[in-house]
Structure 1
Amino acid sequence: MANDAFDDVFTANAEYARRFRLAGLEPVAARGLALVTCMDSRIEPLDMLGLRPGDAKILRNAGARVTDDTLRTLVLAVYLLGVDRVLVLPHTRCKMASVASDDEVHRTIADQYGVDTRSLEFHTVQDQRATLLHDLERIRHHPLLPDGLAVAGAIYDVDTGRVAPVAE
Structure 2
Amino acid sequence: MTNAAFDDLLSANRDYAASVDVAGFDGIARAGVAIVTCMDSRIDPLAMLGLKHGDAKIFRNPGGRVTDQALEALVLGVHLLNVSRILVVPHTRCAMASSTLEQVREKVSASAGQDVSWQTFGMVADQRAALADDVHKVQAHPLIPEGVEVGGFIYDVDTGLLEHLV
TM-score clears 0.5: yes
Specify the alignment match of 2:32 in structure 1.
32
Specify the alignment match of 1:86 in structure 2.
86
Specify the alignment match of 1:8 in structure 2.
8
Deviation of residue 46 (structure 1)? 1.2
Q: Deviations over 1:90-111 (max 9, x none)?
A: 111111111123x442333224
Specify the alignment match of 1:122 in structure 2.
121
Specify the alignment match of 1:68 in structure 2.
68
- Alpha-carbon RMSD across the aligned residues, in angstroms, is 1.6
Deviation of residue 155 (structure 1)? 0.8
1:71 counterpart SS class: helix
Amino acid at match of 1:125: V
Deviation of residue 114 (structure 1)? 2.9
| Worse overlay, 105-114 or 58-67 | 105-114
Q: Structure 2 vs 1, CA of residues 143 and 97 (structure 1 numbering), >3 Å: closer, same or farther?
A: same
2:151 counterpart SS class: strand
Amino acid at match of 1:49: L
Specify the alignment match of 2:55 in structure 1.
55
| Worse overlay, 152-161 or 108-117 | 108-117
Counterpart-to-counterpart distance in 2, 1:145 and 1:121: 28
Q: Which runs of 5+ in 1 are unaligned?
A: none
Counterpart-to-counterpart distance in 2, 1:81 and 1:120: 34
Deviation of residue 112 (structure 1)? 3.6
| Worse overlay, 114-123 or 56-65 | 114-123
TM-score normalized by the length of structure 1: 0.90
1:106 counterpart SS class: helix
Amino acid at match of 2:122: H
Are the counterparts in 1 of residues 84 and 147 from structure 2 also a CA contact under 8 Å? no
TM-score normalized by the length of structure 2: 0.91
Specify the alignment match of 2:163 in structure 1.
164
Q: What does 1:133-152 correspond to in 2, within 5 Å?
A: 133-152=132-151
Confirm or deny that 1:110 pairs with 2:109.
yes
Q: Deviations over 1:35-86 (max 9, x none)?
A: 1111111111111101111111111111101001001111111111111111
Q: Structure 2 vs 1, CA of residues 105 and 133 (structure 1 numbering), >3 Å: closer, same or farther?
A: same
Specify the alignment match of 1:19 in structure 2.
19
Counterpart-to-counterpart distance in 1, 2:108 and 2:164: 34
Are the counterparts in 1 of residues 33 and 55 from structure 2 also a CA contact under 8 Å? yes
Paired positions, count? 166
Q: Deviations over 1:2-32 (max 9, x none)?
A: 2111111001111111112232323111111
Amino acid at match of 2:104: V
Q: Structure 2 vs 1, CA of residues 126 and 50 (structure 1 numbering), >3 Å: closer, same or farther?
A: same
Q: Which runs of 5+ in 2 are unaligned?
A: none
